[in-house]
């Protein structure tokens, strides 16, 4: 699962050169891949979340049980999905080392307004900044 996830991140920076503005060497140290910006919430979803939550956001069962994001009432409040992405939980990794606050805001807005969810209020980078971020891992 983790490998698949890292490959998905790597695919974004190589498969979308028009979007990739990663500084030279930015994705080399320790194999840590940064998602280049700007990207839309949908692009972040497809590059990062889809590997686990699946293209239809219905989740699945494999090495870990992945909850569906589709038609998920737990997305009604923005703080919960923001917290999951920023901090991780259980088998879901913290993604705040790979995504900046505006990218997290974009993807949380995307999942809250897609896949049968209709929570229209956009999430902002300021909303994301309010959630305490874990210390950055080494290698950055």
Q: How far apart are CA 114 and CA 44, in angstroms?
A: 13
Which position among 64, 71, 76, 126 is part of the footprint of ligand HEC (CB under 6 A)? 64
Which position among 35, 36, 85, 86 is part of the footprint of ligand HEC (CB under 6 A)? 85
Residue 76 tokens read as 């009604």
Residues 30-49 that bind ligand HEC (CB under 6 A): 44, 48-49
Question: Which residue has the closest beta carbon to ligand HEC?
Answer: 90
Q: Is 74 in the site for ligand HEC (CB under 6 A)?
A: yes
Which position among 95, 105, 123, 128 is part of the footprint of ligand HEC (CB under 6 A)? 95
Q: How far apart are CA 26 and CA 2, in angstroms?
A: 20
Residue 85 tokens read as 């992405």
Of 24 and 95, the one with the shorter C-beta distance to ligand HEC is 95
As to burial, measured by CB atoms within 10 angstroms (0-12 exposed, 13-18 middle, 19+ buried), residue 39 is buried
């Amino acid at each position: 699962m983790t490998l698949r996830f890292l490959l998905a991140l790597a695919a974004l920076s190589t498969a979308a050169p028009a979007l990739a503005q990663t500084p030279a060497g930015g994705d080399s140290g320790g194999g840590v891949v940064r998602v280049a910006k700007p990207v839309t919430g949908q692009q972040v979803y497809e590059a990062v979340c889809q590997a686990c939550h699946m293209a239809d956001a219905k989740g699945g069962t494999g090495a870990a049980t992945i909850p569906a994001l589709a038609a998920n009432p737990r997305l009604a409040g923005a703080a919960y999905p923001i917290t999951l992405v920023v901090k991780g939980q259980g088998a879901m990794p913290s993604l705040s080392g790979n995504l900046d606050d505006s990218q997290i805001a974009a993807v949380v807005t995307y999942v809250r307004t897609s896949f049968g969810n209709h929570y229209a209020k956009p999430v902002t980078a300021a909303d994301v900044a309010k959630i305490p971020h874990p210390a950055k891992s080494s290698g950055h």
